[in-house]
Structure 1
Amino acid sequence: MTAIGLASWQRLWGELGAASVNGGLLNQLVAAWGERQRHYHTLQHLRECLAHFEAASMLARRPAELELALWFHDAVYEPTRDDNEQRSADWARASVLAAGCTPEVADRVHALVMATRTHQYAGDDPDTRLLLDIDLAILGAAPARFDEYERQIRQEYAHVPEAMWRERRPQLLRDFLARPRIYLTDAFHDALEARARENLQKSCAG
């Protein structure tokens, strides 16, 4: 599994053109991903995303920006709020600017994080498409990992009454099934689309 360490952190910021590297920010992010209210949106999910990125980084136009966006895409996560992506994106932009990177880099990273708010994208930016596919790769995971993901999501939304959960969760999953394709890049579509649909159909069937 991809390591989360200071060496890779320093390398990433060097590729972004940073004037300085904030090791304290790394600690803050790791702590954020480890907060108690998280069960799926944890360091496990971050590591899985970084592993998918490592395997598919050659598809990215600006790989360092995409990698940083993955670090921040769920950096703020509170299941009872609906502004997590906005707060995560704002934190990312402020951090990029504080490191001395250009405003253009900061704005692109901000936009990448914000794209995860709806997971719907009709544009042609390869980095946005790849980021969304990486974030949704869990839907095409092996059945055992997908089942674990489903349990983890339910734990995060333990505040939702069971009757409401049984109504709304399948509806969300059916929305993914209704899409012409779940994955926007050919690489992820070819590798995960069929299994993702099998997982989602099984979950919807109860």
Structure 2
Amino acid sequence: MAADATHDILLARWSGLLHRCQEKSYPDPVPFGENLLTRWAEPQRRYHNTSHLLAVLDHVEELAHYCADPDAVRLAAWFHDAVYHPERSENEERSARLAERALPEAGVTAARTAEVARLVRLTVTHDPAAGDTNGEVLSDADLAVLAGPPQAYAAYAAAIRQEYGFVPHDAFREGRTAVLRQLLGLPRLFRTPYGHEHWEPTARFNLATELDLLTV
């Protein structure tokens, strides 16, 4: 999909979402959306870009019937990588703080803002507590890329490597190997019933294949 078309689709979805979530009449949601989309289109992004955002939002829609507050999860998807610099380790925390600043200004209630920030912070581990249905849906939607067909997964892995192009090969291989092993060590990658049934086997195959390629 062309970048302009992706931008327009996302901006329309943001505007509809924010209108639903606003406590009362507030300024036009478009400038807030444009600010977020500018962030998501920054040049250092090769995977964590507007295409990823749109994919996560689409997966949230697939899984929305599982969670307690779908709109909080949708907002969290918008903010979960809103701050992203590959060389930094505090991206999720900075993204959560951005949500805590921006959403009240946009007219979102304090309770929902707090839930959005909590969900953004959860994407550090993708390990929601039992019964955290909002966390389960966001985590599964963010990790759904792991269950793509081989060509799509290879493109994802290549884009991640491009984002970390400043890291020497051996150091990247060591770090990526640790990430893959951590994911494979989880009892479940996907917490929703749909994700566990439909995505888990393929995701584990893809992760194991990439790990084998990195460790030969």
Tell me which residue corresponds to 2:200.
193
Q: TM-score, normalised by structure 1?
A: 0.94
For 1:11-64, what per-residue CA distance to the aligned partner results, in whole angstroms no more than 9, with x for missing partners?
Answer: 211321333243111111111111000000011101111111122222221111
Are positions 1:95 and 2:102 aligned together? Answer: yes
For the aligned residue pairs, the C-alpha RMSD in angstroms reads 1.5
Counterparts of 2:76 and 2:210 in 1: how far apart (Å)? Answer: 29
SS at match of 1:137: helix
Give TM-score scaled by structure 2 length.
0.90
Correspondence 1:1-206 to 2 at 5 A: 3-6=9-12, 8-19=13-24, 20=26, 21-206=28-213
Q: Which runs of 4+ in 1 moved over 6 A?
A: none
Cα distance in 2 between the residues matched to 1:140 and 1:69: 21
Quick one: distance in 2 between partners of 1:121 and 1:198?
23
Q: Distance in 2 between matches of 1:66 and 1:45?
A: 15
Aligned length: 205
Q: Give the share of equivalent positions with the same residue, in percent.
A: 37
For 1:101 and 1:196, how far apart are their aligned partners in 2? 35
- How far apart, CA to CA, are the structure 1 residues paired with 2:202 and 2:19? 37
Query: What residue ranges of structure 1 are gaps of 5+ in the alignment?
Result: none
Q: Give structure 2 stretches of 5+ with no counterpart.
A: none
Q: How far is the alpha carbon of 1:83 from its aligned partner?
A: 1.2
Amino acid at match of 1:12: L
The alpha carbon displacement at 1:5 in A equals: 2.6
